[in-house]
Amino acid sequence: MKEKILLGNSWPMTLIRRPVQIEPLPIERLRSYLKEADGKFYSFWGHTNTIAAANKLLGVDVTPKTERPAVELTYEGLPTFEGEVFWRVYILNPDYRPGFRPQIGQEVGEEDITGWTCLRVTYPLRLVGGRLV
């Protein structure tokens, strides 16, 4: 698999403006993709308190170049980040202890994380006017 990888810890519904497919992905597969990418991936990780745990889990540094960077959409509704357009996004969410829900603005510590879930959000490409969008 040789594709540009866009990785973050959450995916807002406001960035879905066209049909998407969202599927769970084994974390081992995400690790494999990141290994194939040889450290060349794009991170929009937003919560600094979970970076260390994610780095440990994935074996790579997910620290973004800027603090809390924002993903935008192209005119066609595809994610764009740092001048690149993506048709897939990988989301690594922490699983929390039962009954735990962070307060608004609360930073969550590693002790509240019981595991991780990986989701792959795919924006299927379609041919429009002779070009893929």
Give pLDDT, residue 109: 74
pTM: 0.89
Q: Check residue 90 and give its pLDDT.
A: 98
**Residue closest to 50 by CA, chosen among 85, 91, 78:** 91
> Does the pLDDT value for residue 89 go beyond 60?
yes
For domain 6-132, the question of CATH label 3.40.50.11170 is answered with yes
Helix axes 27-36, 51-58, angle to 10 degrees: 80
Q: Where are the domains of the chain?
A: 6-132
pLDDT per position as a tens digit, 14-67 = 999 999 999 999 999 999 999 998 879 999 998 888 898 999 999 999 999 998
